[in-house]
Amino acid sequence: MSKDKDRAIVVKRSAPARKGHHGGAWKLAYADFMTAMMAFFLLMWLLSSASTVQLKGIADYFNQPLKVTLWGGDRSAEDSSILRGGGRDISTDAQGVTRATDGTNNRAERSVSHNNEDSVKQMQGELERREQVRLHDLQVKLMAAIEANPVLRQFKQQIRIDSTLTGLRIEIVDSQKRPMFATARDVVEPYMRDILREIGHTLNDVPNRIIVQGHTDAAQYAGGEKGYSNWELSADRANASRRELIGGGMDEAKVMRVLGLASTQNLNKADPMDPENRRISIIVLNKRSEEALDHDDSTTTTLSDDAAGSKPLLQRLAQPATVAPKVPAVAPAAQ
């Protein structure tokens, strides 16, 4: 028994069996996928940075047959280089040049020019968008002012506001029951004065300049076009409207044109005698139309002294123009 007590007890413990490796095939597939994506984005970046001339040159290179590249032909390079084929330098527009430059400067210049053009176009588009928003707000404000004023609300059928290519057009049309001016005169009726002054007060909310146009119907004066006619009448009524706009608080520097168009632009072309053809148009110009008018004003025409008959012409131009009498000798027709 003593021997059994003194014997050492040895405990053997076996380590747990290790499981097999799962493998790294997915890592290789993921690495291949990331490499392909990197190559794809690199290709897209190269294509986006290449100019149109370079892309065309690359396409022509791959479309050129191998036989022409090796032995020459009609589609080979046009220069005197001993290396036939290859075409011209795709970084330049010059014909017959295989490698005049590495194209770095040309690409940089074209890139800067292209970026500047894009920036200018974006800026112009943003300015036009803001201007359209301002004109739209002006239209809404005018319509709200007419609705809020009990005096003007009853005449809203005679006020038309719409957008055109030149800007915002505000038209006040005549009617048989409510004429805007005294018959055949430029005296503004009281309700017309209220409308014009309300519009003049509101026009100061935008920096755009305006054109005031006068229109008449086709009824002629008894004296015809030789004396005081619809041309003078439409111009006088437009100028009277300008005075009322300024009387309403509008800055007088906003007026760019005051035109009398007589009956050349009738609203009702089927009936030239329609009272609606008698109207006042106030056009709030957009920036493009205003710049076009400024450009026309700054364009000058020089008369050459040695031209045939130039001296008599200059003398005639220097003579003061005669002004037709404003009051007609014969009673006018209804305007």
Cβ–Cβ under 8 Å, residues 238 and 283:
no
Ramachandran angles phi, psi of 284, nearest 5° = -85, 105
Bridge-partner residues for 211, per DSSP? 257, 283
With a cut of 80, say whether residue 113 has pLDDT above it. Answer: no
The model's confidence at residue 114, banded by pLDDT at 50, 70 and 90, is low
199 dihedral zone (left: phi>0; alpha: psi -120 to 50; beta): alpha
Percent pLDDT > 90 in the chain is 24
The model's confidence at residue 335, banded by pLDDT at 50, 70 and 90, is low
The SS3 assignment for 214 reads strand
What is the torsion angle, in degrees rounded to the nearest 10, for the CA atoms of residue 185, residue 280, residue 292 and residue 295?
A: 20
Q: What is the pLDDT of residues 295-317, one digit of tens each?
A: 877 665 555 444 444 455 445 54
Q: Which residue ranges form the domains of the chain, and what is each CATH number? A: 133-298 (3.30.1330.60)
Residues 119-147, mean pLDDT to the nearest whole number: 82
The model's confidence at residue 262, banded by pLDDT at 50, 70 and 90, is very high
Bridge-partner residues for 280, per DSSP? 172, 214
Residues 118-146, mean pLDDT to the nearest whole number: 81
How much is the mean pLDDT over the chain? 76
Q: What is the pLDDT of residues 186-227, one digit of tens each?
A: 999 998 999 999 889 888 888 889 999 999 998 888 776 678
Question: Residue 282: what pLDDT?
Answer: 94
Question: Residue 323: what pLDDT?
Answer: 43
Q: What is the pLDDT of residues 33-73, one digit of tens each?
A: 999 999 999 988 888 887 777 777 777 777 766 655 555 55
